[in-house]
Amino acid sequence: MKGRYSAGCAVRCPRVASGGRSHIRRRFLLATGGDDLIDLTAGVHQRVQATSQAIETHLATLRRTPLLIGAIAEHLREEQLRARPRPNDWSLVELLAHLQSCAEVWSDDIERMLALDAPSFEKPHPRQLMRHHQVPPFAQSARAFAHLREQLLTRLQPLGSDQWERSSTINGRRHSVYTQMRRMALHEAAHADQIRETCRLIAGPQAASSLAAVPQGTQ
Protein backbone atom coordinates (compact mmCIF):
# COMPACT_ATOMS: atom_id res chain seq x y z
CA MET A 1 0.00 0.00 0.00
CA LYS A 2 1.26 3.44 -0.86
CA GLY A 3 1.01 6.50 1.33
CA ARG A 4 2.58 8.04 4.38
CA TYR A 5 3.29 5.57 7.12
CA SER A 6 4.98 5.65 10.44
CA ALA A 7 7.46 2.86 10.79
CA GLY A 8 5.66 1.86 13.93
CA CYS A 9 4.01 -1.18 15.46
CA ALA A 10 6.79 -3.17 13.83
CA VAL A 11 4.13 -3.87 11.19
CA ARG A 12 4.09 -0.60 9.22
CA CYS A 13 1.00 1.17 10.47
CA PRO A 14 -0.29 4.40 8.93
CA ARG A 15 -0.14 7.73 10.67
CA VAL A 16 -2.93 8.41 13.17
CA ALA A 17 -5.87 10.20 11.56
CA SER A 18 -5.88 12.91 14.20
CA GLY A 19 -2.26 13.82 14.47
CA GLY A 20 1.46 13.09 14.24
CA ARG A 21 2.61 10.38 11.94
CA SER A 22 4.86 8.73 14.54
CA HIS A 23 2.33 8.59 17.41
CA ILE A 24 1.50 4.90 17.00
CA ARG A 25 5.17 4.01 16.66
CA ARG A 26 6.15 5.87 19.82
CA ARG A 27 3.32 4.46 21.90
CA PHE A 28 3.83 0.88 20.79
CA LEU A 29 7.60 0.63 20.63
CA LEU A 30 8.27 2.57 23.83
CA ALA A 31 5.75 0.42 25.66
CA THR A 32 7.05 -2.90 24.37
CA GLY A 33 10.73 -2.28 23.86
CA GLY A 34 10.25 -3.63 20.36
CA ASP A 35 9.23 -7.27 20.20
CA ASP A 36 11.62 -9.17 22.45
CA LEU A 37 12.17 -9.72 26.16
CA ILE A 38 13.59 -6.27 26.99
CA ASP A 39 11.33 -3.54 28.40
CA LEU A 40 12.44 0.03 27.63
CA THR A 41 9.41 1.73 29.20
CA ALA A 42 11.42 2.96 32.17
CA GLY A 43 14.29 4.10 29.95
CA VAL A 44 16.54 1.20 30.95
CA HIS A 45 17.01 -2.36 29.82
CA GLN A 46 15.12 -4.71 32.08
CA ARG A 47 13.48 -8.08 31.64
CA VAL A 48 9.75 -7.98 30.99
CA GLN A 49 7.98 -9.27 34.09
CA ALA A 50 4.89 -11.47 33.65
CA THR A 51 3.18 -10.46 36.88
CA SER A 52 -0.40 -11.50 37.57
CA GLN A 53 -1.50 -7.85 37.48
CA ALA A 54 0.21 -7.21 34.14
CA ILE A 55 -1.26 -10.39 32.66
CA GLU A 56 -4.80 -9.42 33.66
CA THR A 57 -4.33 -5.87 32.34
CA HIS A 58 -3.32 -7.13 28.92
CA LEU A 59 -6.00 -9.83 28.84
CA ALA A 60 -8.57 -7.11 29.55
CA THR A 61 -7.32 -5.19 26.51
CA LEU A 62 -7.65 -8.30 24.36
CA ARG A 63 -11.24 -8.72 25.56
CA ARG A 64 -12.12 -5.10 24.69
CA THR A 65 -11.00 -5.07 21.08
CA PRO A 66 -13.71 -7.40 19.68
CA LEU A 67 -16.34 -5.35 21.55
CA LEU A 68 -15.14 -2.17 19.83
CA ILE A 69 -15.05 -3.85 16.41
CA GLY A 70 -18.50 -5.36 16.95
CA ALA A 71 -20.01 -1.99 17.89
CA ILE A 72 -18.62 -0.44 14.72
CA ALA A 73 -20.03 -3.27 12.61
CA GLU A 74 -23.44 -2.68 14.16
CA HIS A 75 -23.61 1.10 13.67
CA LEU A 76 -21.82 1.88 10.37
CA ARG A 77 -22.66 1.02 6.79
CA GLU A 78 -20.26 -0.91 4.58
CA GLU A 79 -19.50 2.12 2.39
CA GLN A 80 -18.56 4.10 5.51
CA LEU A 81 -16.38 1.26 6.74
CA ARG A 82 -14.46 1.23 3.46
CA ALA A 83 -14.03 5.00 3.21
CA ARG A 84 -10.70 6.62 4.10
CA PRO A 85 -11.00 9.77 6.24
CA ARG A 86 -7.98 11.19 4.36
CA PRO A 87 -6.16 9.86 1.29
CA ASN A 88 -3.21 8.54 3.30
CA ASP A 89 -5.19 7.12 6.23
CA TRP A 90 -6.51 3.59 6.51
CA SER A 91 -10.22 2.86 6.38
CA LEU A 92 -11.89 0.93 9.18
CA VAL A 93 -11.85 -2.15 6.93
CA GLU A 94 -8.10 -1.75 6.51
CA LEU A 95 -7.58 -1.18 10.23
CA LEU A 96 -9.52 -4.34 11.07
CA ALA A 97 -7.58 -6.28 8.41
CA HIS A 98 -4.37 -5.05 10.03
CA LEU A 99 -5.43 -6.09 13.53
CA GLN A 100 -6.74 -9.41 12.28
CA SER A 101 -3.51 -10.20 10.42
CA CYS A 102 -1.38 -9.41 13.46
CA ALA A 103 -3.68 -11.40 15.73
CA GLU A 104 -3.52 -14.44 13.46
CA VAL A 105 0.27 -14.45 13.24
CA TRP A 106 0.92 -13.72 16.91
CA SER A 107 -1.78 -16.13 18.15
CA ASP A 108 -0.17 -18.87 16.08
CA ASP A 109 3.21 -18.00 17.62
CA ILE A 110 1.69 -18.49 21.07
CA GLU A 111 0.18 -21.84 20.09
CA ARG A 112 3.55 -23.07 18.85
CA MET A 113 5.33 -21.99 22.03
CA LEU A 114 2.78 -23.81 24.16
CA ALA A 115 2.93 -26.97 22.05
CA LEU A 116 6.69 -27.20 21.42
CA ASP A 117 9.82 -26.85 23.55
CA ALA A 118 11.74 -23.70 22.59
CA PRO A 119 10.94 -23.87 18.87
CA SER A 120 12.76 -21.79 16.29
CA PHE A 121 10.93 -20.81 13.11
CA GLU A 122 10.39 -18.17 10.45
CA LYS A 123 7.05 -16.41 10.02
CA PRO A 124 5.59 -14.18 7.28
CA HIS A 125 5.11 -10.52 8.06
CA PRO A 126 1.49 -9.79 9.15
CA ARG A 127 1.02 -7.19 6.40
CA GLN A 128 1.31 -10.01 3.85
CA LEU A 129 -2.12 -11.20 5.05
CA MET A 130 -3.84 -7.81 5.03
CA ARG A 131 -5.14 -7.84 1.47
CA HIS A 132 -6.89 -11.16 2.06
CA HIS A 133 -8.74 -9.76 5.08
CA GLN A 134 -9.96 -6.67 3.21
CA VAL A 135 -12.17 -8.70 0.86
CA PRO A 136 -15.04 -9.94 3.10
CA PRO A 137 -17.74 -7.59 4.43
CA PHE A 138 -16.69 -5.87 7.65
CA ALA A 139 -19.30 -7.69 9.74
CA GLN A 140 -18.00 -11.06 8.54
CA SER A 141 -14.41 -10.10 9.37
CA ALA A 142 -15.55 -8.78 12.75
CA ARG A 143 -17.14 -12.15 13.59
CA ALA A 144 -13.98 -13.99 12.48
CA PHE A 145 -11.84 -11.69 14.63
CA ALA A 146 -14.11 -12.26 17.64
CA HIS A 147 -13.96 -16.03 17.16
CA LEU A 148 -10.16 -16.00 16.90
CA ARG A 149 -9.96 -13.88 20.04
CA GLU A 150 -12.32 -16.18 21.96
CA GLN A 151 -10.09 -19.13 21.10
CA LEU A 152 -6.97 -17.27 22.21
CA LEU A 153 -8.47 -16.12 25.51
CA THR A 154 -9.71 -19.64 26.27
CA ARG A 155 -6.15 -20.84 25.73
CA LEU A 156 -4.46 -18.10 27.75
CA GLN A 157 -6.69 -17.63 30.79
CA PRO A 158 -5.82 -20.89 32.61
CA LEU A 159 -2.04 -20.67 32.01
CA GLY A 160 0.32 -20.99 34.96
CA SER A 161 3.46 -18.93 35.48
CA ASP A 162 5.75 -21.50 33.83
CA GLN A 163 3.58 -21.59 30.72
CA TRP A 164 3.66 -17.80 30.34
CA GLU A 165 7.46 -18.03 30.23
CA ARG A 166 7.62 -20.65 27.46
CA SER A 167 9.67 -19.15 24.67
CA SER A 168 10.77 -19.44 21.06
CA THR A 169 13.03 -17.83 18.51
CA ILE A 170 10.98 -16.27 15.72
CA ASN A 171 12.74 -14.75 12.72
CA GLY A 172 15.93 -14.65 14.77
CA ARG A 173 14.45 -12.90 17.83
CA ARG A 174 13.50 -14.37 21.17
CA HIS A 175 9.87 -14.20 22.34
CA SER A 176 7.78 -15.74 25.11
CA VAL A 177 4.08 -16.50 25.40
CA TYR A 178 3.75 -13.48 27.68
CA THR A 179 5.68 -11.04 25.50
CA GLN A 180 3.71 -12.00 22.40
CA MET A 181 0.41 -11.62 24.27
CA ARG A 182 1.63 -8.30 25.69
CA ARG A 183 2.74 -7.19 22.25
CA MET A 184 -0.70 -7.92 20.82
CA ALA A 185 -2.51 -6.11 23.63
CA LEU A 186 -0.32 -2.99 23.46
CA HIS A 187 -0.64 -2.92 19.69
CA GLU A 188 -4.43 -3.04 19.87
CA ALA A 189 -4.54 -0.44 22.64
CA ALA A 190 -2.45 1.88 20.49
CA HIS A 191 -4.91 1.49 17.60
CA ALA A 192 -8.11 1.79 19.64
CA ASP A 193 -8.01 5.59 19.74
CA GLN A 194 -7.23 5.65 16.03
CA ILE A 195 -10.25 3.47 15.31
CA ARG A 196 -12.55 5.71 17.35
CA GLU A 197 -11.21 8.85 15.66
CA THR A 198 -11.58 7.29 12.21
CA CYS A 199 -15.19 6.43 13.06
CA ARG A 200 -15.82 10.04 14.09
CA LEU A 201 -14.27 11.47 10.92
CA ILE A 202 -16.17 9.09 8.64
CA ALA A 203 -19.59 8.99 10.31
CA GLY A 204 -19.70 12.04 12.58
CA PRO A 205 -19.83 12.58 16.36
CA GLN A 206 -23.19 10.83 16.73
CA ALA A 207 -21.85 7.59 15.30
CA ALA A 208 -18.70 7.90 17.39
CA SER A 209 -20.82 8.38 20.51
CA SER A 210 -22.37 4.96 19.86
CA LEU A 211 -19.01 3.50 20.86
CA ALA A 212 -19.12 5.17 24.27
CA ALA A 213 -20.53 2.05 25.89
CA VAL A 214 -17.44 0.06 24.86
CA PRO A 215 -14.94 0.15 27.74
CA GLN A 216 -11.73 2.05 27.13
CA GLY A 217 -8.41 1.41 28.76
CA THR A 218 -4.83 2.60 28.63
CA GLN A 219 -1.64 0.64 28.84
Report the percentage of the chain scoring pLDDT > 70.
74
In a domain, 169, yes or no: yes
CATH, residue 68: 1.20.120.450
Phi, psi of 47 (to 5 degrees): -70, 135
In a domain, 219, yes or no: no
Average pLDDT, stretch 24-39? Answer: 50
In a domain, 27, yes or no: no
Q: 134 CB contacts (<8 Å, ≥6 apart)?
A: 93, 94, 97
In a domain, 164, yes or no: yes
Domain enclosing residue 67, as ranges: 50-209
Summarised one tens digit per residue, pLDDT across range 74-93 is 989 999 999 999 999 999 99
Domain total for the chain? 1
* DSSP at 85: S
In a domain, 5, yes or no: no
Summarised one tens digit per residue, pLDDT across range 151-194 is 999 999 999 999 999 999 999 888 999 999 999 999 999 999 89
Q: What pLDDT sits at residue 134?
A: 86
Q: What is the model's pTM?
A: 0.81
In a domain, 8, yes or no: no
Side-chain-side CA neighbours of residue 186 (13 Å): 26
